[in-house]
Structures are given as C-alpha cells and as structure tokens.
C-alpha cells in the first residue's frame, strides 16, 4: 500500500516538551480543585504542584535561560528557540501560579476552616494565642534569627536556593547613627514553616495553625530595637540547581559530585517570588541584587513556598479527610514459602503499590542470609536514606559474600543520599562503582547467584521503578522476579559490561540502552505497521511517563498512517500530536492523574496475535535511549502477560481520572458518557488487590 508523502518532521506535528510539562502541572493542580478528592489530599496535590514547579524552574527554565543567554538558535522538533519557549513559559507560568494561590485562598483555606483546620492570621489572634506565640518567638525563633542591615559595610548576602527570606523597610537611626532604610532577614531551613498552636494553652481548636512568616512579622520589632518597621515582605529565590560534572576531566566521580553539591544552592537566579504587597522599589532592589528580569518576578497572595504546607497533612490526624488506608497485598505464591523455591516454580509479578514492596526487600535479605548465595549484584538509582535493601547488602558484604553495587551518584536531588550510601557500602566491603562515564545508570535490576547442587543458578528482579520503599507506596510500578536462564544470563552480561571494560555483549531477550533499545522499539513499531499494511490486525499500547523522542514519534505516525490502532498512556510530557488527519488519526493519548503517581513503563505489541509485553526502566526520551543505561525486559509468562494487558485495558477504560490530549495540545478531563458507569483504574486495582473487584471484571 502506497501512502501519500507527508513530512513527518514538520514542526506543527510536535508539541513543545517544556510547555507540555507545564500542562502536566496544571493537571496536578486540578486534583487540588476536585471536590471528589479528600480535602487534605487536595492540599497535598497543591503542594506537589508547587514542588513540581520549583523543579521546573530549577532545571528546565534554568537550562533554557543559559541557552538564550548564549544566543543559541538551535531548535527542537517544534522549531521553537529557547528564547521563544521562555516567552510562552512566562505567560503560562504566571497564570498557573495565580491559579495555585486562588486555589489556596478561595477553595482550600475556607474548606479547611469549615473542617476545623484553621490558619489564623495575625489580626485574628486571641490574647492567649498572642501570649503563646510571643513566648515561642522569644524561645524558639529569635535565638536563631540574624537580621542584617544593608549598607556598604553589610552588602546584600548570598541567598540560599528556595529559602524563606524577608525584606524589611526601616525608619530611624540605629545605635551607630546609620539609616540605610533596608534590612534583610533569613529564616533557617530547620524552622517549621507552619506552627501548630496547642489548644489547651491558646483556647483554640486542635488544628489551629499560624504561618512562620506571620509569627516573625508580628515580632520583628524586637529584632530592630529602636527602629520603626515600615514594611515587612517575604521573598524567595529559585536558582539553577542542575549539577555539572565534567567526567572527562575528573579522576574521582564521588569526590567531584560531593564538591558540586556544595555550590548547588547558589546557582544563577531564575525566579523571584515576593509578597503581593511588596512595593515596586523593594522589588526593583531585589531584582538588581539578584539579576532577575521583571518577567521572572512572581507576586503571590500567600506564603512564598506552598510546598512547605505539606506538613499539615501529617499534623492533622483526620483520616476522614484523607484517602482510605490500605494494606498492600502479598502474592499468594509467597505466603509461607521460601522465596527462592517460589521463584523457581514460576515467575512472580509485583504491581506496586497495590502489591507490597516487602518481597523485594525480602529477596535481598534472604539472599544476604542464605549460605548457598555466593554473590549479589544490584543497581541503585534512588533508595532512600534508611534503606532496608542497603542494610541487607551491608550485612551480606560483612558476611563475606561477593557484593557489587552500581550506584548512580547523579540521580537528580538524591546525589547527597547516594554519596552516603556509596560510602557506607564501600566501608562494609562491597564493590561499588558509579556506572559508565557519560551515561547515567537508570536500569533497575538485581542479580543473585546461588549454588544449587552442582550448578549455579541466577535469580533476578527487574523493575520499572526504583528500589525505594517509600515511593513504592506512592508510585505505580511493576517488578518481575524470575530465574529464567536467559534473563539471568542477560542481566549477568549487563552487570559485567557496567563493571568492566569490553565490547557490547549480545543479549538473548533484554533490550538495553544505549545499544539495542531504541532500534528494537523502532523495529517492533514497524512490524505492527507491516501487519496493518497487509490487512492483519495491528495494535500498540504504550504506557510511559514521557514521550518526546522524535524518531519514535515519527515511527508511531508511520504506523498510524499504515492503519495501526495506537493508545498512548503518557503521564507527563508528550510531544506527539494525536488526531491529525492523515498522520495520527489512529493515535489516542491520555494522562492518568490520581491518588498514585503513574510510573510504570509498559510496551504492548499485538504482533499478529503473538502478543508481546515489555516492562522497562526507560521513558521514550532521547536521554533514556542514548545517554542512559536502561533495561527493557519481556514478560513471557502467559498469565502474567495477560494480567498486564488487562491492567492496560483498565487504564484505557478510565473515565474519571483520565485527561485526553487533543490535536491542539490541550487536555480535557474525561467523564462518563450517558448511561456509562464511572470507572477509575486506580480504584479498581485497589479493589482487586483488596479482594473487592468491580463486578464483571477480573484478572
């Protein structure tokens, strides 16, 4: 079949990745506005949206500003220069921030107050509250606050990234006769941004809170004795926080990362948040000191760091205002049975957070204690500061087992924790490496070598997500436990490649970046296109966190044009434009935003009835295909493969938490059609794993 020629590289066929990421944050914010979501969870979503926006400025906006500053004219697939993208971001980010504070002030604070969770303003404190807060200020705040008068002998200080600060306008002369008119005050990060008032001492409710900024403001006169305080304005600076390590010029990556961590908090300024009532002359002063453009100033009607309100969630013991608690399930194959014996019988699939992460921890723990286990090899990208898995690896190394751990020191914002983990494992006697120069090791894999009779057997765990127990309760991910020989041999080869020097080893079943994954995916997409072109059924379902790699997008466009039905479940960035006549009319894109962060990367190909399902650590981005070490593993047990396919079908049925991407780049929240029952994939999966599956469904 011959198709009319279409330029699949035309810029109009691509959405901008950074603007798409902003749209994702808008979808997260919509959860904070959704009255169907429990109230304290709505507050959490507001905090998550704020935190996401912080990282967006720290990494993406910072990188765009550097390019624009250098006059870079190169463009992405959408043909927008860095300067052009920044201009659009400025308008959309300001609107998004305004919407965040409208959500806080008009929706959440009144709703919380109606539930007895109050944020009491300075003018509304009763006498008891005033007295308690004054004592609190004297004893807990004043000793750690260091006001700084600004004059030639006291220049404007270096401001820590995302720290809470105050500009103070003063009138009068100090003890030395000085009258600069301005002073500055920084709130140490150790101080809570929200203070809970004790009800018995303040005659208030059990969930009365006061902002730290209000408390300091109310007592700031004590810090400037004899001066008249004319104005007090909070502000916050966001800085470029991406680490730069020139790996070709260093001898010790661990020490280089440690050195860069010291300077991360003082990168170039990219955003200034100030109180809504801050006068223009003070803003102008801050802009000059911080080298900030007017378009990068965000005046906000509330605390300048919304993400720090997340502490309220833990301080309020109000289960009726939170998602119902649940206990992750343990697969029945693992109940009352030795883990290695269970895996030897058949592959085991774990779907977190619905299934417990405990079997993964037990896998390493049992391997560490088993006298028949000779070696354990594992990758660690993010593991958490108090990781049970790291503890087990330490004990195994101390017991004399051969322990090899590949730690990615440059896992963004986890670098410091990973440095500490690497140091601890090295001291225990483990072999610790940091992957390959120029490539982040993002693959999720464990290999256990066990002596069974006269042979050595390989047990593996392959996953789509990190070895982090906390995120395993919040993120959806798959993990596969198996002792299939070809998987064990492949994982063994990949570990050897990462820890030694040598050519690329040929793998049996696994695809891995930066070598075979990209081309392997292109071939599988092309195969579906060939099936469709010859009249056979053809289908592709892809579930990822981001889809922006141009060649993969072009391959999907080609497949759509050939007649392949394609469903894409893309949580965050998506540069593909669906529903374009003659190009992508058979492609549908949805984003699921709900209680859990959708994190699974799953690839399904109909393959003329011989269905293939892959799990992977890789998103469909250039970095994952060409600049990272990633794994893509097949799920070949028929029952487990069918489970994943049915999971995907549930996500495609979702009409409550699914946002549908239109050809114009906008997202619209789906809703049940007339006479159609409401269906949430996440809620259905929770019900399934807790034994209360929806009627008519099963896996």
Torsion, Cα of 546, 551, 554, 558 (10° steps): -120
| Rounded-to-integer distance, Cα 104 and Cα 113, Å | 12
Q: Which residues contact 451 (CB under 8 A, 6 or more apart)?
A: 372, 373, 374, 457
DSSP collapsed to 3 states, 616-652: ECCCECHHHHHCEEEEEEECCCHHHHHHHHHHHHHHH
Please, are residues 560 and 584 in contact by the beta-carbon 8 Å criterion? yes
Q: Residue 205's CB: how many other CB atoms inside 10 A?
A: 14
Strand extents, DSSP E, 445-549: 445-452, 455-463, 475-482, 511-513, 539-544
DSSP class of 273: E
416, two tokens: 């410091």
CA pseudo-torsion sign 105, 97, 595, 387:
negative
Rg of the chain (C-alpha set): 27
From CA 161, how far away is CA 307, in angstroms rounded?
14
How many CA atoms lie within 13 Å of 111's alpha carbon, on the beta-carbon side? 18
What is the CB neighbour count within 10 angstroms for residue 33?
16
> 3-state DSSP call for residue 188?
coil
- Rounded alpha-carbon distances, angstroms, from residue 98 to 46, 376, 397: 12, 51, 53
199 torsion bin: left (phi>0), alpha (psi -120 to 50), beta (else):
alpha
Query: DSSP 3-state assignment of 604?
Result: strand
Structure-block tokens of residue 60: 């993406």
Residue 350, burial from CB neighbour count under 10 angstroms (0-12, 13-18, 19+): buried
Backbone φ and ψ of 171, nearest 5°: -125, 145
- E strand residue ranges, 240-304: 269-275, 297-300
Cβ neighbour number for residue 324 with a 10 Å cutoff? 10
Q: How many CB atoms lie within 10 A of CB 403?
A: 25
Residue 597 token pair: 């962060």
For 667, residues 6+ apart whose C-beta sits below 8 A from its C-beta are: 23, 26, 27, 591, 659, 660, 661
- Rounded Cα distance between 6 and 275, Å, is 51
DSSP state of 351: E
Residue 382 Rama label (left phi>0; alpha psi -120 to 50; beta): beta
56 backbone dihedrals φ, ψ, rounded to 5°: -60, -45
Residue identified by tokens 């007592």 is 219
Q: One of 442, 468, 512, 599 is an active-site residue; which one?
A: 442
| Helices first, then strands: H and E counts in the chain | 21, 27
In the residue annotation, 276 being an active-site residue is answered as no
Residues recognised as catalytic: 442
């Amino acid at each position: 079949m011959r198709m009319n020629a279409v330029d699949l590289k035309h810029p109009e066929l691509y959405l901008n990745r950074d603007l798409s990421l902003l749209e994702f944050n808008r979808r997260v914010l919509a959860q904070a506005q959704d009255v169907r979501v429990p109230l304290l969870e709505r507050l959490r979503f507001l905090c998550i949206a704020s935190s996401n926006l912080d990282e967006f400025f720290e990494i993406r906006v910072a990188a765009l500003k550097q390019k624009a500053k250098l006059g870079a004219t190169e463009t992405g697939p959408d043909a927008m220069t860095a300067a052009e993208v920044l201009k659009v971001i400025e308008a959309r980010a300001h609107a998004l921030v305004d919407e965040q504070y409208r959500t806080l002030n008009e929706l959440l604070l009144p709703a919380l107050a109606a539930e007895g969770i109050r944020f009491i303003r300075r003018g509304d404190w009763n006498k008891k509250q005033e007295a308690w807060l004054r004592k609190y200020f004297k004893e807990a705040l004043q000793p750690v606050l260091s006001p700084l008068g600004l004059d030639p002998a006291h220049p404007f200080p270096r401001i820590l990234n995302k720290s809470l600060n105050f500009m103070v306008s003063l009138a009068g002369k100090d003890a030395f006769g000085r009258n600069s008119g301005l002073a500055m005050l920084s709130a140490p990060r150790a101080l809570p941004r929200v203070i809970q008032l004790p009800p018995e001492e303040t005659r208030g409710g059990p969930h009365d809170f006061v902002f730290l900024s209000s408390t300091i403001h109310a007592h700031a006169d004590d810090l400037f004795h004899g001066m008249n305080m004319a104005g007090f304005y909070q502000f916050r600076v966001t800085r470029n926080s991406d680490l730069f390590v020139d790996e070709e010029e260093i001898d010790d990556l661990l020490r280089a990362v440690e050195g860069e961590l010291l300077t991360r908090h003082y990168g170039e300024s990219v955003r200034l948040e100030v109180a809504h009532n801050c006068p223009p002359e003070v803003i102008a002063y801050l802009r000059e000191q911080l080298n900030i453009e007017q378009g990068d100033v965000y005046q906000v009607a509330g605390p300048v760091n919304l993400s720090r309100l997340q502490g309220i969630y833990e301080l309020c013991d109000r289960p009726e205002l939170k998602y119902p608690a649940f206990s992750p399930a343990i697969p029945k194959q693992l109940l009352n049975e030795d883990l290695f014996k269970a895996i030897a019988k058949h592959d085991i699939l774990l779907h977190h957070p619905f299934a417990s992460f405990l079997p993964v921890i037990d896998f390493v723990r049992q391997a560490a204690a088993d006298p028949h286990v000779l070696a354990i090899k594992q990758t660690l990208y993010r593991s958490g500061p108090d990781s049970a898995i790291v503890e087990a690896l330490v004990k195994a190394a101390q017991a004399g087992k051969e322990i090899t751990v590949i730690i990615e020191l440059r896992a963004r914002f986890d670098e410091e924790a990973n440095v500490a983990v690497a140091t601890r494992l090295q001291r225990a006697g483990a072999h610790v490496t940091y992957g390959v120069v120029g490539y982040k090791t993002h693959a999720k894999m464990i290999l256990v070598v066990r002596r069974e009779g006269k042979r050595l057997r390989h047990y593996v765990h392959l996953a789509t997500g990190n070895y982090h127990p906390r995120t395993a309760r919040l993120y959806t991910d798959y993990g596969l436990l198996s002792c299939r020989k070809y998987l064990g041999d492949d994982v063994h080869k990949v570990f050897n490649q990462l820890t030694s020097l040598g050519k690329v080893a040929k793998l049996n079943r696994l695809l891995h970046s930066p070598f075979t994954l990209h081309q392997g995916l292109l071939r599988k997409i092309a195969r579906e296109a060939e099936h469709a072109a010859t009249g056979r059924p053809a289908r592709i379902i892809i579930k990822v966190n981001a889809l922006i790699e141009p060649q993969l997008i072009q391959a999907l466009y080609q497949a759509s044009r050939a007649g392949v039905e394609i469903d894409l479940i893309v949580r965050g960035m998506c540069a593909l434009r669906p529903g374009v006549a003659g190009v992508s009319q058979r492609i549908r894109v949805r984003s699921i935003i709900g209680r859990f962060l959708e994190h699974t990367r799953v690839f399904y190909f109909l393959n003329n009835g011989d269905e293939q399902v892959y799990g992977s650590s890789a998103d469909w981005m250039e970095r994952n295909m060409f600049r990272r070490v990633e794994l893509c593993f097949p799920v070949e047990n028929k029952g487990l493969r069918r489970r994943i396919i049915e999971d995907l079908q549930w996500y495609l049925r979702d009409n409550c938490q699914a946002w549908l991407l239109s050809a114009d780049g906008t997202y619209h929240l789906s809703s049940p059609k007339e006479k159609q029952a409401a269906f949430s994939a996440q809620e259905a999966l929770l019900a399934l794993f807790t034994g209360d599956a929806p009627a008519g469904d099963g896996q």
